[in-house]
């Protein structure tokens, strides 16, 4: 089965939409941690009130896979990425409100 056909489904898009922001956060953490452990870093950003900003930056990385799926005409996977990105947006919005 061809690569595009094999991964052109909504579940692949949802999985990519969940994993890419986590990877983006880890890259952001490695660049900006200044010697802190992950738990200390998380505690620091929560105390500073920056959790929604950092989550937004991490979710913004979904645009990369969105554009890749669009370029390769993988429309079913594209729907999964778009759906999970909207869910991430609601989570960020909910955290911002509370």
Inform me whether the pLDDT recorded for 5 exceeds 90. no
Q: Where are the alpha helices (DSSP H) in the chain?
A: 3-7, 10-32, 38-48, 51-60, 62-71, 75-97
Q: Domain range spanning residue 61? A: 3-97
pTM: 0.86
Q: Number of structural domains, the chain? A: 1
For residue 4, the model assigns a pLDDT of 79
pLDDT bucket at 1, cuts 50 / 70 / 90: low
pLDDT one-digit tens code per residue, 9-34: 999 999 999 999 999 999 999 999 99
Contacts with 70 (C-beta within 8 Å, 6 or more apart), sequence order: 78
Across the chain, mean pLDDT equals 93
Rounded to an integer, the average pLDDT of 60-84 is 94
């Amino acid at each position: 089965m061809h690569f595009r056909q094999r991964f052109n489904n909504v579940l692949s898009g949802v999985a990519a939409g969940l994993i890419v922001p986590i990877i983006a956060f880890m890259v952001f953490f490695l660049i900006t941690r200044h010697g802190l452990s992950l738990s200390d870093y998380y505690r620091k950003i929560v105390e500073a009130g920056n959790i929604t900003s950092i989550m937004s930056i991490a979710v913004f990385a979904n645009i990369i896979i969105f554009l890749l799926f669009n370029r390769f005409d993988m429309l079913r996977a594209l729907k999964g990425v778009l759906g999970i990105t909207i869910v991430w947006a609601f989570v960020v919005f909910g955290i911002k409100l509370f």
